[in-house]
Structure 1
């Protein structure tokens, strides 16, 4: 069954908060390079892993059938989600107009006067009603994310793109097999993930699905504010949903290649991964799959980049 990502702002997401689990720390200092924008990229080694989730996992769906996947080449992945400030450099250099701006449509943002998330003309990637240049850039379509990658590729004479769904999950798991890279229970996310919590509930009273603890950020958090996964990547769970390069197909796992699966050749919607500050429990799992039409944009949907190693 095709499953589209519906904004968690308008629908309560049920979840069960588990007990606090032992946190997993990076086993070795990650190899990091920095590009001309000051973006830090982590070298992700080649390897293999079990992609998807077991049927016994809480939140598992039939589109997450487990199978072995091999990532045959190392790659560089953004240590953080692309920030507002980094995206602004792209816009200033090119005059680029986002999908939202070109279509002259309102965007999502927080309106304090109404104490609610609203769709208003004033909201776009530069204005969400919260955040700074250090926050993940949001209110972007898949096309906007790809346009940024194309510009950065031309600027640095190397190839930047969005991660494939397989690359994303492989990097997120970082050799872990638990529901989250930091543990098995929802409680293990504390300190590692910006998800729907008490501070979000204090701003958005309809968020009845929020967890009891407070992660310190009502909306998105400045990138790198929380602890990284074992490979040194921040915000792989929560903060902002992240566009992947793949088209989505519910049955893709059943027939996809074992080596470097690229995703379906065509489709109607693109994969998004990782969950956001509006989500809890099931949607921020390492294995969770969701999808949006390429032109969709929300105040909790952003991206991080891959740099291809020649």
Structure 2
């Protein structure tokens, strides 16, 4: 009986400490962050609530001033939306393909990032998948973490083993782009990238490959009046924000604080997207 009581006491202590926590549908991404899958099957990473440093006093005028922003917890896609997933959206929602696509290209692209869609189409995809585009602040925190780094991987300048950038002119999807999961084991030998520009939370290609649409309207002076809690950008505008830099950009455009913009109906081979979702959904 004494031994049984001791074993029972140990079991209760383990349960209380979480050692024998019940299994949930949430998985781990290798960085300790939790992941779920959206309705499109794409893995999403939980970004915990709390403050982070946004903007840069050393960047362009539209990145100033550096300021602290606090966000609630949210999920964001670990990878850029792939051409394969975007093709399913086109077929299911009866949408037009991006103007640079044809059926053969879409099938061949597979796990390469979907590029060439407008902001309107990117937002429609996220809604179709039960998600939304990330806000500019959500994107930057997911890319940067909380330590004020310059690039997703730290302060070191980009190099060819870590990011897909400065490729010059467009050649083809298969040559110019790299798979969204190119930093995972088994992909580095085929495609040259060892980390895929991985962020502190384990997101891939937050710098280079495809630049990414985010939810906010663009205002070059918005940081001077941005709220400190969960900013969502101006109420209206003429252009939407683009983040992350692309396969065509130089290192300066790959910085996590770099801000670009275009009209919502703009379509270009350098631009793709990823989706976000409120925590608790």
- Residue from 209, 215, 229 that aligns with 1:239: 209
Structure with more relative contact order (C-alpha pairs < 8 Å, separation 6 or more):
1
For the Cα contact (< 8 Å) 1:27–1:230, is it kept in 2? no
**Structure-2 change in CA distance of 1:265 and 1:27 (3 Å):** same
Structure 2, unaligned runs of 5 or more: 1-28, 184-194
In structure 2, what is the equivalent of residue 248 of structure 1?
A: 218
For the Cα contact (< 8 Å) 1:84–1:132, is it kept in 2? yes
Work out the CA distance in 2 between the residues paired with 1:125 and 1:270: 26
In structure 2, what is the equivalent of residue 176 of structure 1?
A: 147
The answer to whether 1:278 aligns with 2:248 is: yes
Work out the CA distance in 2 between the residues paired with 1:232 and 1:53: 23
| CA deviation profile, 1:139-176 (whole Å, cap 9, x unmatched) | 100000111122122xxxxxx11011111111100223
Task: State the 1:125 CA deviation.
Answer: 7.0
| Matched position secondary structure for 1:242 | strand
For the Cα contact (< 8 Å) 1:275–1:283, is it kept in 2? yes
Structure 1, unaligned runs of 5 or more: 1-25, 101-106, 108-122, 154-159, 205-216
Which structure shows the higher helix fraction?
A: 2
| Matched position secondary structure for 1:161 | coil
Q: Report the TM-score, using the length of structure 1 for normalisation.
A: 0.71
| CA deviation profile, 1:162-205 (whole Å, cap 9, x unmatched) | 01111111110022323212232324x443311114xx57959x
**Structure-2 change in CA distance of 1:219 and 1:173 (3 Å):** same
Work out the CA distance in 1 between the residues paired with 2:179 and 2:233: 31
For the Cα contact (< 8 Å) 2:169–2:248, is it kept in 1? no
User: Root-mean-square deviation (CA), in Å?
Assistant: 2.4
| CA deviation profile, 1:97-130 (whole Å, cap 9, x unmatched) | 25x5xxxxxx4xxxxxxxxxxxxxxx23756699
